[in-house]
Structure 1
Amino acid sequence: MRLDPENVTHVRLHSSVIVTRYSATISGEKVRPQQLYLIKLQEQFQSCATEDQTWNKLRHGFLTFNSMPPRVHVLSDDTEFDRVFLKHLRQEGFDVNYLPFTGDVKGFKWTIQHLADDLELGQSYAIIAFGEAATHLLSIAQKPLPHCIALIVYYPTALPSPNHKYPVHLSLLCHLASNQPFGVSSFKSYVYPDTYPGFAERDLEEYDRVAAGLSWGRTIGCLRKGFGIEVDLEGVVEDYNKCKFEDKDARGTMSMLSQVPYVNTVPTMTGGIGRDDLDRFYRQVFLPGNPPSLKVRLLSRTIGVDKVVDEMMVSFRHTQVISWILPGVPPTNRSVQIPVVSIVSIRGGKLWHEQLYWDQASVLVQIGLLDPKLVPGDMKKQGLERLPVIGKEAAEKVLDEGSHPSNELISSWAEEKP
């Protein structure tokens, strides 16, 4: 296929090319579309081919559903769009096409109404739209779109009447910025505090990392529900923890990570950003720094759309420097037991990031570096008798809620007890 350069004023080269009312030469014959056409140019996009190979690997085990990868069309108001957003969708196993809205409402409507024309038997699709494109999509979708199972809209410029009902089979989700003065809608919607339209797009100044992450999880959840996709997040976390704690295998641990991962142990800010940092961290710090006595016991697990939250009990004897928990602290030979919360985010079957939380004051109390009775003089003059920190009792109460009474640090609690 050859596009006639003199007749093309708008071309989107990403995973597809959009040609609107322009002439082109296909197989030696000149054509002039009357409406909006989506022309696949797979041979020009090696990155897409690579991502398709990634999908073929992921579909066996991580994603389990029928036949071809589910198709997702992404619409927005610009010729260029956030490449990372599209890449992450592909990593989740979706066949992604980008369609810009160029202001031609009639052509845009025709395109939306014909998205199912080239689907194979039993195949369906979903649409994610942004801005004004989302507004027009909500209007167009008031009439059934064959084989469309989900509509996800980000900060549309207007919402339809709350009295309107969309087809019951359609999963519909709306993400709104906090400065959009819309009332109640007839479908599920979320408002993200302190944000502006554009918060989910990394290439815009309005990008907000927290809101983008929250909306991403909800978007993926809506897509999976619509397509009936099952994802084994727990298996990914189990393999990751086994490599870290049981096998002590740095190479195996790294194989579980995405291309741009990060790990952050919040109390000590140890870990790393990117594969180079984390490879060094696991090989030089984490794996050799764990004492033989280290034990990890899973207490509870909460599985979300793209995250797994583990509540664990970590215990060890401080017989060596443990740089990710007590960096630089010489061994005290004291026993430590702490509740730890791990939040693992997963994208495309790989660990994207992990954050670990625990009470560092409790650790310091247990190894003797922090004495609750050592109160600074100015605080002691104001009546403070001990620091509000807890030692091993905190862990014991997690394991057995009746092991210690509650509210012992609140001096007025016992005094006011009837």
Structure 2
Amino acid sequence: MDTIRRTGSDITRRIRSAHTNLVSSPSPSASTSPSTPSREKDTPPARLVIAADVPEEQFDGTTKRRFRDEEFDVVKYVQVKVRSGGGGGDVDEVVEKEQRKEVEAEVHRVEDDLEAGERYAVVVVQCRSYNTAASLLLDICTKPMPKLCALVAYYPSTVPPSAITASNTTAFPPSLQVVIHLAGTQNFAPRDNAYFYPDADVGFAEHQHPNHQRLLHGSGSGSGSDDGGDEGKDNYDKVSARLAWSRTLACLRKGFGIDVSSDVEEVWERHLRELFIRRDVEGVMATMVDDHYGRDGKDGDGLSPYVNYVPTMIGGSGRQTLHQLYTEEFLPHVPPSLQLRLLSRTVGTDRLVDELLLTFRHTQEIPWLLPHVPPTDREVSVVLVAAVTVRGGKIAREHIYWDQASVLVQVGLLDPGLVPVSFKATGRTVEGEEEVRRVPVVGGEGVRKVVDEESEESNGLLMV
């Protein structure tokens, strides 16, 4: 099968070319086999150490699974037993030195077990707000460690002075990739290597499952007790967690020298091929992640495959729901005249954003685009923006956006010259008018201007 990566050309032509090769393949399963991030066979494994201040059985198992899905070899879990001496002064200082020696010894044991050319990374999560696990690891890693290539720290209580220069930049070895994630309640941050999540609390990246947040997050009072004021509080924030995950992956992959951008493109283009050309629901589903449900039977973590055609809210979560959607509402209703052209593409660590030109003659109902609208036999052009998340080499999320007002104008359901009589202004425009002369939307001309900026004049609606 040809690899499809020549961006900027007509996707339909590329897909049809690949489709011919698929037909001649020994079996359809060869084109729909599970995909995982690819690395060269002689590349050393990406060893990963996870450190936290809780026992391993209390650590978020979903996070460990996601690292393994991305082909990181989780070789060790280190519980950083940060504790207070309880006596203050010299007693606390002695305890702190002992703690540091213990953690340093654990890290160096990992290095000692590595073969020549192998490297490792550390991800440290400070689960309990009164502990200093992440801060301690940050401090330790300011000293050169030849085989340590990346360090990711979640919610350190402080960034230690050893890790900050006089100009408020971080002072880690140049060869070490570092990312620090800070919650909105942590009002400190160095000028580089740190990301601030203003709408999130400590614990925002730990997935929800029974007792997890209750076990990890106490009162935050510094008492060292697990059963204080906010016990059971759920701090998981999906948006912040996803942003942090992408940045964590980018840091780790850069440290290990892993580039999977071609894999992100390939699985998405295979998805498009199965959807619009082969129209094979099993092929479509083979490009998507498996379901992931918690013990309560719900996908509270948002890790099952999810699709949302935003303007119409068509889509759903879970393989069964999406299988039914594609089988009943999508694949049987692809217009034979449909053409798809790639206008632009941006590829990130685990995400892809496409700008696509979709054109067709409206000869049948298209439930995902124009539900319950009978055919009008009109030509329609629409620019789609697809924001796609890839996890473990498969598609996890799709958010598809377009200008629905433009589509409605083109099929005759919306006339910009007809202002609803129910519209009531509560003030005046900058020209001093109280009435609306024209609904401020455009039809196909807006699409044409995306493809060719010289095709239409700008600012037409301002001249009405």
The alignment's TM-score, normalised by the length of structure 2, stands at 0.73
> 2:181 is matched with which residue: 175, 181, 185?
175
> 2:252 is matched with which residue: 199, 223, 244?
223
Could you tell me whether the CA contact under 8 Å between 1:150 and 1:226 is conserved in 2?
yes
User: What is the aligned length?
Assistant: 354
Could you tell me whether the CA contact under 8 Å between 2:122 and 2:151 is conserved in 1?
yes
CA distance in 2, matches of 1:385, 1:193: 42
CA distance in 2, matches of 1:62, 1:370: 48
Could you tell me whether the CA contact under 8 Å between 2:182 and 2:196 is conserved in 1?
yes
1:383 aligned onto 2:389: no
CA distance in 1, matches of 2:77, 2:458: 56
> 2:67 is matched with which residue: 89, 99, 104?
89
1:196 aligned onto 2:201: yes
Q: Which amino acid aligns with 1:306?
A: D
Cα deviation 1:258-278 (Å, max 9, x = unaligned) = 012111110111122111011
Q: Which amino acid aligns with 1:245?
A: F
**Matches of residues 325-344 of structure 1 in structure 2 within 5 Å?**
325-344=369-388
Offset, 1:359: 0.5
Could you tell me whether the CA contact under 8 Å between 2:35 and 2:287 is conserved in 1?
no
SS in 2 for 1:201: coil
SS in 2 for 1:64: coil
Unaligned runs of 5+ in 1: 1-56, 413-418
Counterpart in 2 of 1:16?
none
> 1:360 is matched with which residue: 369, 387, 404?
404
CA distance in 2, matches of 1:400, 1:212: 38
SS in 2 for 1:116: helix
Offset, 1:58: 5.5
CA distance in 2, matches of 1:396, 1:58: 36
Counterpart in 1 of 2:452?
400
Counterpart in 2 of 1:103?
82
**Matches of residues 166-315 of structure 1 in structure 2 within 5 Å?**
166-185=172-191, 187-203=192-208, 204=213, 205-231=234-260, 232=262, 233-259=264-290, 260-315=304-359
Could you tell me whether the CA contact under 8 Å between 2:35 and 2:267 is conserved in 1?
no
CA distance in 2, matches of 1:128, 1:307: 21
Q: Once superposed, which parts of structure 1, at least 4 consecutive aligned residues long, lie more than 4 Å away?
A: none
Q: Which amino acid aligns with 2:359?
A: S
Offset, 1:145: 2.3
> 1:114 is matched with which residue: 109, 115, 119?
109
CA distance in 1, matches of 2:365, 2:447: 22
Cα deviation 1:28-80 (Å, max 9, x = unaligned) = xxxxxxxxxxxxxxxxxxxxxxxxxxxxx756x73336444211111122221
Q: Which amino acid aligns with 2:354?
A: D
Offset, 1:390: 0.8
Cα deviation 1:193-240 (Å, max 9, x = unaligned) = 211111111133111101111111111011111101121211111111
Counterpart in 1 of 2:157?
157
CA distance in 2, matches of 1:100, 1:266: 43
Could you tell me whether the CA contact under 8 Å between 1:65 and 1:228 is conserved in 2?
no
CA distance in 2, matches of 1:63, 1:302: 21
The alignment's TM-score, normalised by the length of structure 1, stands at 0.81
TM-aligned CA distance change 1:378 to 1:243, over 3 Å: closer
CA distance in 2, matches of 1:226, 1:286: 41
Offset, 1:98: 2.6
TM-aligned CA distance change 1:65 to 1:156, over 3 Å: farther
TM-aligned CA distance change 1:343 to 1:138, over 3 Å: same
Counterpart in 2 of 1:78?
54
Offset, 1:102: 2.3
Offset, 1:380: 7.2
SS in 2 for 1:353: strand
Higher mean Cα deviation, 252-261 or 160-169? 160-169
CA distance in 2, matches of 1:211, 1:380: 39
Offset, 1:378: 5.0
Cα deviation 1:267-311 (Å, max 9, x = unaligned) = 111122111011111111111111101111111111111011110
SS in 2 for 1:225: helix
What percentage of residue pairs aligned between the two structures are identical?
A: 45
Could you tell me whether the CA contact under 8 Å between 1:64 and 1:230 is conserved in 2?
no
Q: Which amino acid aligns with 2:408?
A: L
CA distance in 2, matches of 1:240, 1:62: 18
SS in 1 for 2:289: strand
CA distance in 1, matches of 2:41, 2:198: 36
Q: Which amino acid aligns with 1:405?
A: E
**Matches of residues 34-53 of structure 1 in structure 2 within 5 Å?**
none
CA distance in 1, matches of 2:339, 2:246: 32
- Structure richer in strand, relative to its length: 1
1:128 aligned onto 2:123: yes
Could you tell me whether the CA contact under 8 Å between 1:58 and 1:93 is conserved in 2?
no
Q: Which amino acid aligns with 1:401?
A: E
1:318 aligned onto 2:362: yes
Offset, 1:354: 0.8
CA distance in 1, matches of 2:35, 2:343: 29
CA distance in 1, matches of 2:257, 2:35: 16
Q: Which amino acid aligns with 1:126?
A: A
